[in-house]
Structure 1
Amino acid sequence: MQDQPHFFVVTGGPGSGKSTLIEALAVGGMRAMPEAGRAIIQDQVEIGGAALPWDDRLAFAELMLGWELRSHREARGHPGVVLFDRGIPDVLGYLNLCALPVPPHVRKAACTFRYNRQVFIAPPWPEIFDQDAERKQTFEEAQATYEAMVSAYGELGYELTHLPKSSVEDRVRFIVDRIS
């Protein structure tokens, strides 16, 4: 499958303002696909499941892959710009970050289900980083996640556009200016 020019991914480490930015863009009228990780963690905790990043990382990655594939498929039915809070290559980056083998089907999914070549990446930002019930990573782990995403997306031929460390409103304008 070729690149989807109207699919834009926002990625980066946890706690770098991605979801807040995407929520602000959605309020402004852009279609947005939610992040997989947080919802999967909430669901697994609620049902007593083990597919959690602190329990069974491979099972967690498989659930993230399924979520991202479904989001990609659902977005194909929408005209205009669609924003993704992370994408399929994030699963590849996560597996690499965890030093887990990348199954061939994960690599194939990342190569097959493409997004716009321009991917927005949020750099680590200690001033806004915070932990919560689902985000248990340390800031150092958030930095390592950022680096894993840089590597994963770069390996797949995406062009990374770094988001400025600025207000949500400035970040919204930054993205709108680049995708309009």
Structure 2
Amino acid sequence: MKLENENFYIITGGPGVGKTTLLNELQKEGHQIVPEVAREIIKQQMETNGTGLPWKDKELYLKLILEASLKSYLEIQNQNSESLSFFDRGIPDSVCYSKIIEKEISFEINSIAQSYRYNKNVFILPPWQEIYQTDSERKQTWQEAKMTYNVMKETYLSYNYQVIDIPKDSIENRKRFVLDFIRKTK
């Protein structure tokens, strides 16, 4: 089975590049936002003393991310809405994380990434050191953030998505860039 939804747009990139801020601005414009599952998983695992954390059990963390990403996709798909939906990361981000932790891409992950498709244009925010910050859930170094961006871009391209770099600019201009791009390509 293959599902494809042209109204599902991914906004991705390495950590600390302004994804959440951009998504919040798009939500203020009335667009549906699908929050990042990784942060929620980290919060849940920390609250319950779970091991499904990127600094504890990376493979369990990957499994939890993949399951939550697929669940989010299906929930929004089942709403059968014609409006735009912006995802804070997508299912292929699980493939990227597999690569980062040097785990072989399983048949299951690959199959899900190929079967549940978003709009062919994926927006990616490049590393931007001036705005990069760590916190209790984001512990990656600046070097890891840059490497994640590169692996992310390569991963999406390998799944036949067009990767659109969002310029380093004000949040208003970044939002306008995304919405203008969508209007021009619809």
* Correspondence 1:13 to 2:32: no
* Correspondence 1:145 to 2:148: yes
The 3-state SS of whatever aligns with 2:71 is: helix
The 3-state SS of whatever aligns with 2:146 is: helix
Cα pair 1:3 1:117 within 8 Å, conserved = no
Aligned identity (percent) is 39
Tell me how large the CA RMSD over aligned residues is. 0.8
Q: CA deviation at 1:101?
A: 1.6
TM-score (norm 1): 0.98
* Correspondence 1:75 to 2:76: yes
Q: How many residues align?
A: 180
Cα pair 1:52 1:59 within 8 Å, conserved = yes
Q: CA deviation at 1:178?
A: 1.3
Opposite residue 107 of structure 1, the aligned amino acid is: N
The 1-side partners of 2:138 and 2:72 are apart by 22
* Correspondence 1:135 to 2:134: no
Cα pair 1:22 1:32 within 8 Å, conserved = yes
The 1-side partners of 2:163 and 2:178 are apart by 13
Structure-2 residue corresponding to 1:44: 45
The 1-side partners of 2:4 and 2:18 are apart by 26
The 2-side partners of 1:179 and 1:141 are apart by 30
Q: CA deviation at 1:103?
A: 1.3
The 2-side partners of 1:62 and 1:35 are apart by 15
Structure 2 gaps of 5+ residues are none
The 2-side partners of 1:71 and 1:26 are apart by 17
Cα pair 1:32 1:85 within 8 Å, conserved = yes
The 2-side partners of 1:20 and 1:171 are apart by 10
The 2-side partners of 1:72 and 1:157 are apart by 19
The 2-side partners of 1:28 and 1:160 are apart by 23
Structure-2 residue corresponding to 1:53: 54
Opposite residue 34 of structure 1, the aligned amino acid is: P
The 3-state SS of whatever aligns with 1:29 is: coil
Q: CA deviation at 1:2?
A: 4.7
